[in-house]
Amino acid sequence: MTFSAIKSFTLELDGPADAVYSGGGVVSGQVVLELRRETGVRAMRVLGRGVATAHWLENRSVGMNSIYNDYTSKITYFRRRQHLIRG
């Protein structure tokens, strides 16, 4: 299958569009593949990755000056490959 045969490829998660997930929670849904023409498929796999990123600023005053600390945190909760069709 070539990429030109793919009209659309989407992942539709169950639940509301603005859902929030936490560690240990179940994420479920379905993969929707729409093709432009009849195409043979030998194998298909999906790679999923769950990442959380946070950024915040803290400031403190030292005399007449303000000192700002800039913090960023990034955590990868999961990274998983799943075969939908094995070839």
The pLDDT value recorded for residue 25 is: 82
Bridge partner residues of 5 (DSSP): none
Pick from 67, 7, 9: which is nearest to 35 by CA?
Answer: 7
Rounded Cα distance between 74 and 55, Å, is 9
Between strands 44-62 and 6-13, the pairing is: unpaired
The domain segmentation of the chain, as residue ranges, is 3-85
pLDDT (tens, 9 = 90+) of the chain, 87 residues, equals 567 888 999 989 998 988 887 778 888 899 898 999 998 888 888 888 888 899 999 988 888 888 889 999 999 888 889 888 887
Whether the full predicted model's pTM is greater than 0.85, yes or no, is: no
Pick from 24, 71, 31, 32: which is nearest to 50 by CA?
Answer: 24
Separation of first and last alpha carbons in the chain: 13
The pLDDT value recorded for residue 1 is: 57
